Amino acid sequence: MSEVYKRKYTFGEDYGTSTYKFGPITLGEKPKMIENRGYFPDKSSIMYELMGGKREVVIGEEIPLFLEAREDLATRMVYPMKNGIIEIDDKKAWTVVREITLYGLRKFRSSEPDFEGFYVCASLSSVAPRYMYERLFEIHRKIDEEEGFVKAITIIPQPLAVAIAHKVPTCVVIESGHGNTQVCPISRYPIRRAIVALNRGGSDANAITSQILYDAGYGDLAKEEAVVRHVKEELGLVPRNLDVAIKRAKAEPERFKAIFKLPGTRLVVDLGEESWTRFLIGEYVFNPNHEIFQSYFKRGLPKPKDVKIGDVLFRGMLDFGEAIIEAVEKCPVELQPHLFRRVLLSGGNFEWKAPNEYSDVAVDSATKIKLLLKEKGIENVDVIVAGDPQYSVWRGCIVYGYAVPDKYEWTWERMEGWLKFR
């Protein structure tokens, strides 16, 4: 198939934990996005009938029209990719995946005479097991059978897509999302046997922020997830060294005063004498091992545990520096210096502010990673925070789909190539 065809009909799909990014190469720099979730309405509800009925799952902008009692949300709203892995028998989650995939492809189906279907490059978590690949292929095969949208499909791991989007062929990618973090060395291929997965992500920073709000007398706000996230983003800081930062913040309370007004409301959060705790929020993401966190665990903050999902062990308490070293040291010795040279940080969990007035004690994500590696004897590392992190994976998919030759067929041994249904 010609390069001209792929310039028109390469299609990227990023099944992220919270959003599904999709669209053809012709969109340019940014994909379309919808929330990666589905709502299973109560079929006995009159709204279900009045809105057309006979729909098992509702996705996208229509969801608010079907929402019922708040207590039903937990069972009726399904986020299929919440930790990157869908259980093989989780029918509801797979139904949502099928529905959003169909939605995405329908949105861009072409009426051009030369259209024979898209070259679809989808992206999954690097720890996704083989059955997830098989299910996703099957979903696309059925959609192609019914509507003729898919000429060929391939699936790549998200960290590889990030490395491609940022034009770096040899590096370590850390993809840190809401629920977990994946550390994946890349050297022209993803080095799958060296992947290290962590059971820690943005939601853990939310958890400690909630506890800090509770301690500061904002017990009511501590339960509101949106408020907690706002406070984390506005007040949370990543310390250069946690002990030094706490000492300085306690000595100069006025300078480090943490006050934040919630936009559009009259609510003001003032951590007051507890303002030094803002440094705990950032530190906890990168390294939860400081002894100060023990008191939080004792008071009910859930300690990140080692969990096994599928065949993958997600580590709870490994700091990001150790995780990078562990991943790289699983690779050939000759390759290790090249991998340590470039570390790419991707995902919303690396977007931390480092205000100039606190430059003596607060740092950005890249500097923190460098410091963690330096503590363990690794220096001169080029750490980059990926720009436009929410679009990186989709962009990588587009490059991959565009560049990989049509004749390169899928093999399970390599987990690469095009799978064709016709």
Structure tokens at 171: 């590096």
108 part of the interface to another protein, by CB under 8 A? yes
The one segment of 83-91, 214-222, 297-305, 400-408 that binds another protein by CB under 8 A: 400-408
**Considering beta carbons, is residue 73 or 251 the nearer one to another protein?**
73
- The least CB distance from residue 350 to another protein, in Å, is 19
Pair 174, 181: CB distance under 8 Å: yes
403 part of the interface to another protein, by CB under 8 A? yes
- The least CB distance from residue 129 to another protein, in Å, is 19
107 part of the interface to another protein, by CB under 8 A? yes
Pair 385, 392: CB distance under 8 Å: no
380 part of the interface to another protein, by CB under 8 A? no
106 part of the interface to another protein, by CB under 8 A? yes
**Considering beta carbons, is residue 287 or 392 the nearer one to another protein?**
392
Residues paired with 78 in a beta bridge: 38
Closest CA to 101 of 131, 125, 80: 80
146 part of the interface to another protein, by CB under 8 A? yes
- DSSP characters over 116-152: --EEEEEEE-TT--HHHHHHHHHHHHHHHHHH--EEE
Closest CA to 250 of 275, 232, 231, 271: 275
Buried b (16+ CB within 10 A) or exposed e, 72-92: eeeebbbbbbbbbbbeeeeeb
The one segment of 159-167, 316-324, 354-362, 371-379 that binds another protein by CB under 8 A: 159-167
Query: Footprint of another protein on residues 315-354 (CB under 8 A)?
Result: none
Mapped onto helix, strand or coil, the DSSP state of residue 400 is: helix
Element (H, E) at 181: strand 181-187
Q: What is the DSSP letter of 188?
A: S
Structure tokens at 417: 């190539």
- The least CB distance from residue 327 to another protein, in Å, is 14
Task: Report d(CA 393, CA 10) in Å as an integer.
Answer: 14
**Considering beta carbons, is residue 124 or 184 the nearer one to another protein?**
184
What strands, in cross-sheet order, belong to the sheet with 307-309?
A: 307-309, 312-315, 196-198, 181-187, 170-176, 342-346, 382-385
Pair 23, 12: CB distance under 8 Å: yes
Count of residues that interact with another protein, criterion CB under 8 A = 60
- The least CB distance from residue 8 to another protein, in Å, is 5
Of 62, 65, 88, 109, the residue at the interface with another protein (CB under 8 A) is 109
Q: What is the DSSP letter of 278?
A: H
Closest CA to 327 of 182, 202, 168: 182
Closest CA to 291 of 334, 323, 326, 246: 246
165 part of the interface to another protein, by CB under 8 A? yes
Of 14, 19, 21, 25, the residue at the interface with another protein (CB under 8 A) is 25
- The least CB distance from residue 374 to another protein, in Å, is 28
- Convert residues 32-71 into a mask of x (bound to another protein by CB under 8 A) and - (unbound): ----------x-xxxx-xx--xx-------------x---
**Considering beta carbons, is residue 46 or 268 the nearer one to another protein?**
46
Pair 369, 328: CB distance under 8 Å: no
Of 167, 266, 298, 308, the residue at the interface with another protein (CB under 8 A) is 167
89 part of the interface to another protein, by CB under 8 A? no
Of 70, 74, 75, 111, the residue at the interface with another protein (CB under 8 A) is 111
- The least CB distance from residue 227 to another protein, in Å, is 31
173 part of the interface to another protein, by CB under 8 A? no
414 part of the interface to another protein, by CB under 8 A? yes
Task: Report d(CA 226, CA 229) in Å as an integer.
Answer: 5
Of 115, 214, 260, 421, the residue at the interface with another protein (CB under 8 A) is 115
Binding site for another protein (CB under 8 A): 4, 7-9, 23-29, 42, 44-47, 49-50, 53-54, 68, 106-116, 145-148, 163-165, 167, 169, 187-191, 395, 398-400, 402-405, 407-409, 414, 416-417
